[in-house]
């Protein structure tokens, strides 16, 4: 992708009119996700920068009449982690609905259709997700060692 492609996408993200709190890139550089001040996440494709590919309000109540969900508290940070097979993980802080008075700070982990909310005792300043390998398409070392041991056994037979 050229820098012009990225600039067009960034321009459209800015024109989205919601303050951006964080951005996380897909490992292949084809998509990125933004967290916004109204509690939404927008996923953008670099190849089609005109509008978001998807807009999600993780903790917004979905009205039955098809209208937009109610605004929520800002999502302060989002991370976008892909897996070898299946849906990516989205990990975010903040974004609860305004009617959750007295609720503790939380991290939300979304994977496919499942969502887990992890409540914390103290405010979340930042978070970091650690993966088994920094390269999304690489097998972990244990798997590689097991594969090579199996191949050795097959050669001996």
* Global pTM exceeds 0.75: no
Instruction: Express each pLDDT in 37-73 by its tens digit.
Output: 889 998 888 888 778 888 888 988 877 777 777 878 9
Residue 146 has pLDDT above 60, yes or no: no
Q: What is the number of structural domains in the chain? A: 1
**Which residue range forms the structural domain that includes residue 32?**
1-155
The per-residue DSSP string of the chain comes to: --HHHHHHHHHHHHHT-S-EEEEEE-TTSSEEEEEETTS-EEEEESS-TTS-SEEE-TT----TTSPPPPPBS-EEEEEEE--SSSPPEEEEEE--BTT-TTPPPEEEEEETTEEEEEE-SS---------S-SSTTSPPHHHHHHHHHHHHHHHH-
**Residue 50 pLDDT:** 76
Residue 4 has pLDDT above 60, yes or no: no
Residue 1 has pLDDT above 50, yes or no: no
Residue 36 has pLDDT above 60, yes or no: yes
Residue 12 has pLDDT above 80, yes or no: no
Q: Which residue has the higher pLDDT, 146 or 34?
A: 34
Instruction: Express each pLDDT in 85-143 by its tens digit.
Output: 778 889 999 998 887 667 788 999 999 889 999 999 998 989 988 776 555 555 554 55
**Residue 76 pLDDT:** 93
**Residue 17 pLDDT:** 63
Q: Residue-wise over 16-31: b if at least 16 C-beta within 10 A, else e?
A: bebeebbbbebeeeeb
Query: For the residues 7-30, what does the mean pLDDT come to?
Result: 71
């Amino acid at each position: 992708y050229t820098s012009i492609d990225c600039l067009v996408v960034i321009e459209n993200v800015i024109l989205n009119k919601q303050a951006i709190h964080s951005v996380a890139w897909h490992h292949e550089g084809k998509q990125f996700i933004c967290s916004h001040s109204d509690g939404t996440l927008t996923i953008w494709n670099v190849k089609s920068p005109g509008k978001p590919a998807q807009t999600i309000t993780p903790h917004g109540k979905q009205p039955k009449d098809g209208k937009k969900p109610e605004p929520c508290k800002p999502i302060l940070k989002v991370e976008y982690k892909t897996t070898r097979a299946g849906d990516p993980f989205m990990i975010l802080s903040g974004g609860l609905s305004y009617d959750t008075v007295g609720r503790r700070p939380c991290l939300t982990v979304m994977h496919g259709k499942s969502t887990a909310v992890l409540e914390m005792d103290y405010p979340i300043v930042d978070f970091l997700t650690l993966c088994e390998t920094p390269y999304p398409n690489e097998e972990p070392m244990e798997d590689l060692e097991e594969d090579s041991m199996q191949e050795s056994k097959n050669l001996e037979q």
